[in-house]
């Protein structure tokens, strides 16, 4: 069995009257995307959905053409190109339609293949790795408070409690181009990867998430549901999105399946 296990949940939380997060998880393509929109009225919802749709379409289409081929340069460029396409589309739509002026979105994208994953992100949506009972943050937020942490001016816990914790320094749609961070990691079988919007990690400390994965990690659906439920029990101040992936180093893409997927996305 070479399939990847993936479970995704998105929830509006207890305070917001709509959900401006968008997610996608396509096990056959090894693809996961989480986007957290921002902007007035429906604009945040529009931006995040546009980001996920464009990124998903580009990556599935590219993989359908490439089949099982792929290396670090190929995967990284594919993710970077997809993010740039999404950025430009959001930027242009915001310029063309006044009701969408100022909209934007964060995004985190992962692609799994064989014994590796590739990740690209913009903003403060995150990728975590849970390995051998230890949770580690893989991505580094593009945010004001993260810059303060990196300079040693505040601690990570002080940053998590800061009133400025949601001020991002990069987002899709703000300018005509954007600079994503692109990375590559080797997988271990049974690693669990968590992609989330800040509605989760603003409420649950990394230690809380780690304990939930220790307790519920054998059942990804139960783990994801537990995270969302606890975030809501603690006030649910923002939209909450969670995708969990159990790594399988034997996973390999199938070109015929990808070509069928391309017609669906």
Compute the CA torsion angle 138, 246, 229, 140 (nearest 10 deg). Answer: 10
| pLDDT at residue number 139 | 98
Q: Which of 60, 38, 45 lies closest to 166 in space, CA to CA?
A: 38
Q: What is the pLDDT of residues 142-152, one digit of tens each?
A: 988 878 877 87
Q: Into how many domains does the chain fold? A: 1
Higher pLDDT, 162 or 256: 256
Contact (Cβ atoms closer than 8 angstroms) between residue 231 and residue 243: no
- CA 106 – CA 88 distance, rounded (Å): 14
CATH of the domain at 102: 3.60.40.10
Tokens matching residue 114: 């064989």
- Inter-residue contact 128 to 243 (CB < 8 Å): no
Q: How far apart are CA 109 and CA 91, in angstroms?
A: 19
pLDDT digits (tens, 9 = 90+) for 241-253: 999 999 999 898 8
pLDDT in tens, 216-227: 999 999 999 999
Q: Which of 41, 167, 46 is nearest to 104 (CA)?
A: 46
Quick check: 239 and 20 in contact, CB under 8 A? yes
Mean pLDDT in the chain? 92
pTM reported for the whole predicted model: 0.94
What would the pLDDT profile of 78-117 be if each residue is shown by its tens digit? 999 999 999 999 999 999 999 999 999 999 999 999 899 9
Neighbours of 147 (CB within 10 A): 16
Give the structural domain span for 176: 5-262
Please choose, from the candidates 237, 245, 240, 246, the residue with its C-alpha nearest in 3D space to the C-alpha of residue 226: 240
1 falls in which pLDDT band (50, 70, 90)? very low
Sheet with 134-137, edge to edge strand ranges: 5-11, 240-246, 192-196, 126-131, 134-137
- Tens of pLDDT, residue by residue over 4-33, are 999 999 999 999 989 999 999 999 999 999
Are 194 and 128 contacting, i.e. CB atoms less than 8 angstroms apart? Answer: yes
Distance CA 184, CA 186 (A): 7
- Structure tokens, 239: 């939209």
């Amino acid at each position: 069995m070479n399939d990847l296990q993936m479970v995704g949940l998105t929830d509006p939380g207890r305070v917001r009257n709509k959900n401006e997060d968008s997610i996608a998880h396509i096990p056959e393509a090894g693809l996961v995307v989480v986007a957290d929109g921002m902007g007035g009225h429906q604009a945040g919802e529009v931006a995040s959905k546009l980001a996920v749709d464009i990124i998903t379409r580009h990556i599935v289409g590219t993989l359908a053409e490439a089949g099982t081929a792929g290396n670090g340069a190929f995967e990284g460029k594919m993710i970077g190109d997809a993010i740039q396409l999404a950025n430009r589309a959001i930027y242009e739509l915001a310029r063309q339609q006044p009701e969408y002026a100022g909209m934007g979105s964060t995004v985190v994208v992962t692609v799994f293949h064989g014994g590796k994953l590739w990740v690209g992100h913009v903003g403060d949506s995150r990728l975590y790795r849970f390995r051998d009972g230890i949770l580690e943050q893989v991505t580094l937020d593009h945010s004001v408070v993260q810059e303060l942490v990196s300079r040693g001016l505040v601690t990570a816990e002080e940053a998590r409690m800061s009133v400025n914790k949601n001020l991002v320094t990069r987002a899709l749609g703000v300018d005509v181009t954007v600079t994503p961070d692109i990375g590559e990691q080797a997988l271990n079988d049974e690693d669990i990867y968590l992609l989330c919007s800040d509605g989760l990690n603003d409420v649950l400390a990394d230690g809380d998430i780690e304990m939930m994965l220790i307790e519920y990690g054998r059942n990804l659906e139960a783990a994801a549901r537990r995270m969302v439920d606890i975030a809501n029990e603690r006030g649910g101040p923002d939209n909450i999105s969670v995708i969990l992936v159990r790594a399988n180093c034997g996973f390999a893409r199938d070109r015929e399946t990808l070509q069928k997927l391309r017609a669906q996305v």
